[in-house]
Structure 1
Amino acid sequence: MKLNLKTCIGALTLSATFFACSGTSEKKLPIIGERETEERIVDGKTVVDTIYHQIPAFIFLNQDSVEITDKDFDNKVYVANFFFTHCPSICPTMQRNLLKVYEKYKDDERVAFLSHSIDFKYDSPSVLKSYAQKLGVTNKQWQFVTGEKKDIYGIADQYLVYTKEDEDAPGGYDHQSYLVLIDPQKRIRGAYDGTNDEQVAQLFDDLQILLKEQ
Structure 2
Amino acid sequence: MQDQSTKRMKWWISVGVLVLIAALIFGVKSYMNASLFTVMKVPEFSLKDQNNQTITDKEMLGKVYLVEFFFSKCPTICPVMNSNMRYIEDQINDPNFGIISISIDPENDTPETLKNHARKIGAKSPNWHFLTGDRTYIGEIAKKFDIYVGDQKDKAESLNHSGEIALVDKDGNIRCRFGKDGMPILYYSGLNYEDEAGTKASLVGKYHPDREILIEDIKKLLR
Q: Give the alignment's TM-score, normalised by structure 1.
A: 0.74
| Residue of structure 2 equivalent to 1:193 | 189
Amino acid at match of 2:139: Y
Cα offsets for 1:111-139 (capped at 9, x unmatched):
11100000021100000000000111133
Tell me the equivalent position of 2:148. Answer: 162
Match of 2:107, SS state, is: coil
Q: How does 1:142-153 map to 2 (within 5 A)?
A: 142-153=128-139
Measure, in 1, the Cα distance between the counterparts of 2:37 and 2:73. 34
Match of 2:50 in 1: 63
- How far does the alpha carbon of each residue in 1:49-71 deviate from its partner, in whole angstroms, 9 at most, with x for none? xxxx3123321011011111122
How far apart, CA to CA, are the structure 2 residues paired with 1:31 and 1:25? 12
Q: 2:159 aligns with which of 154, 159, 173?
A: 173
Equivalent residue of 2:59, what SS?
helix
**Equivalent residue runs for 1:35-46 within 5 Å:** none
Deviation at 1:182, TM superposition (A): 0.6
Distance 2:111 2:211 in 1: 28
CA RMSD in angstroms, aligned pairs only: 2.1
- In structure 2, the residue matched to 1:114 is 100
CA distance in 2 between partners of 1:20 and 1:104 (Å): 30
Q: Distance in 2 between matches of 1:25 and 1:123?
A: 40
Q: Gaps (5+ residues) in structure 2?
A: 1-24, 177-186, 193-207
Deviation at 1:19, TM superposition (A): 7.8
Deviations 1:62-98 (A, max 9, x none): 1011111122201111001000000011100011101
What is the SS of the residue equivalent to 1:174? coil
- May I ask how many residue pairs the two structures share in their alignment? 172
Larger radius of gyration: 2
Of 27, 37, 53, the residue aligned with 2:34 is 27
Richer in strand (by share): 1
Q: Does 1:211 align with 2:218?
A: no
What is residue 90 of structure 1 aligned with on the other side? 77
Q: What SS is found at the alignment partner of 1:57? A: coil
Measured in 2, the distance between the counterparts of 1:55 and 1:31 equals 10
- Separation in 2 of the partners of 1:25 and 1:188? 16
Q: Name the SS of the counterpart of 1:71 in structure 2.
A: coil
Q: Distance in 2 between matches of 1:174 and 1:96?
A: 19
Counterpart secondary structure, 1:204: helix
Structure 2 length-normalised TM = 0.71
Extract unaligned runs of 5+ from structure 1: 1-17, 33-52
Partner of residue 74, structure 1: 61
